[in-house]
Structure 1
Amino acid sequence: MNKIRVRLADWQKDNADIRRIREAVFIAEQNVPPELEWDADDNTAVHFLAMEGDYAIGTARLLPDGHIGRVSVLKDWRGLKVGDALMQAVIVEAQNRDLKQQMLSAQVHATPFYERLGFKVVSEEFLEAGIPHVDMVRESRELA
């Protein structure tokens, strides 16, 4: 396996890769209706791609208000720290944009992953696209 790297993505230029990953993970695997997966926020979000060589294997997005979403890694690359690399890149970008707080809605099964990254559960469980979720928040550490 090559070293995984994460880069900023361009919604227009990298659209095919972003769509391929999110369609495989959310629409095909998790049965999220396509009309819920694609939204107007994609146009204003900062997008990220995790790459192995020239092949995109994961994606995430950061909204201007600090919401992180659509974190997804293709099945064959899960368990290889791709999600960690993606989230670290998103958190660094959020901090570079002076977003003091990062927020996300996590699938309940993924809460331990996000807790390792400093997120805390701040809501009761709720259904989103038929999948149990909780809201989570991470406060940026002030640099001394």
Structure 2
Amino acid sequence: MQKVKVVENPHEKEHAFEVRKTVFVGEQGVPMHIEWDEYDDSATHFVGYNLEQPIAAGRVREVEMGTGKVERVCVLSDHRGQHVGVLMMDEMENYARSAGLFTLKLNAQSYAVPFYEKLGYTVTSPEFMDAGIPHRAMEKTL
């Protein structure tokens, strides 16, 4: 059984960080000093579980009045293609609505643009590099 939840304690936050480290640092070669940033202390983190195993992570933070930014969304490789990313995004969007956010922005890795488009996000920028990986800015009105 898969579930996604808002991180409520340091143990769950560590689970989210473990997933991020595996995906972004281990698989994609993002340096640790870039993966962990000043927003990790203030963002609302999410972790996805398969039974008790952490398999997905993400975070949301308010960047301006009524606008949030979805960041660090990732799913462990063994669990991709099983709608875990959709569950993560649904939970983060529901949280954003309950927090009074009307718009969500994100910087999608270019290969993931079709995934986010299926969820109603639209591309708002030309391709740019972030941590050595091609990205596109995207946005959705909630």
TM-score (norm 1): 0.92
- Quick check: 3-12 or 110-119, which moved more? 3-12
Structure 1 gaps of 5+ residues are: none
* Larger fraction in strand: 2
The structural deviation recorded for 1:12 is 2.5
Indicate the residue corresponding to 1:119 in structure 2: 121
Q: How many residues align?
A: 138
Aligned to 1:56: 54
SS at match of 1:63: strand
Deviations 1:42-77 (A, max 9, x none): 111111111111111001100122000000100100
TM-score, scaled relative to structure 2:
0.94
Aligned partners of 1:86 and 1:33: how far apart in 2? 24
Q: What corresponds to 1:139 in structure 2?
A: 141
Tell me which residue corresponds to 1:30: 28
Query: Are 1:44 and 1:64, in contact at CA under 8 Å, matched by a contact in 2?
Result: no
Task: Say what the alpha-carbon RMSD is for the aligned residues.
Answer: 1.0
* Equivalent residue in structure 1 for 2:106, among 93, 104, 111: 104
- Corresponding residue number in structure 2 for 1:129: 131
Corresponding residue for 1:85?
87
